[in-house]
Amino acid sequence: MAVSVRMDPLMEKELELAAKRRGVTKSQFIIEAVERALGRKDPAALYQQVMEKPGSYSAAEATPVQGEQPLRAKLQGKHAAEAADWLAYQQARQRGETWPPADEEPAA
C-alpha cells in the first residue's frame, strides 16, 4: 500500500541524510520509525531479551559465511606456522644461536 506524506523541504533533507547514514532508503527509514512508534520494534525490549541470556550466544553457533571455511583454514595454518617460527626463535635465542639459521631463508 502506498502512502504519501507531505513535509517541509528541510525535514525531508534531514530524512535523506539520516537514511543515508543508516544505509537504508527513505521508505525503509520511515517504516522503521512507524514500527517503533507503534511498538512493533522496541529496541529496549530486544536489548532486554538479549540480556536475559548472557553468554548464550557464541561465534561457534553462528552460521558460517559462504567461503569462510577455506579462509579460516588458511589463516589457522598461517598462525600455526608463525607460532612454530616464534617458538623456534625463542629456542635458538636460549641456545645463543642466530635466527634464522644461516642455511634457511627468512620467512616472507
Higher pLDDT, 16 or 100: 16
Which pLDDT score, from 0 to 100, does residue 62 have?
Answer: 62
pTM: predicted TM-score of the whole model, two decimal places? 0.41
> Please, what is the average pLDDT of the chain?
82
- The domain spans of the chain are 9-49, 72-108
If DSSP codes are grouped into helix, strand and coil, which group holds residue 77? Answer: helix
Phi, psi (rounded to 5 degrees) for 13: -65, -40
pLDDT of residue 36: 83
Q: What pLDDT, in 10s, does the model give residues 63-99? A: 666 667 788 889 999 999 999 989 988 998 899 888 7
Cα 45 from chain centroid (whole Å)? 23
Cα angle vertex 100, ends 94, 103, to 5°? 120
Percentage of residues in the chain with pLDDT exceeding 70? 80
User: 66 vs 56, which has greater pLDDT?
Assistant: 66
Of the candidates 30, 35, 38, 34, the residue with the CA atom closest to the CA atom of residue 14: 30
Q: Is the pLDDT of residue 35 over 80?
A: yes
pLDDT at 26: 93
Residue of higher predicted confidence among 24 and 44: 24
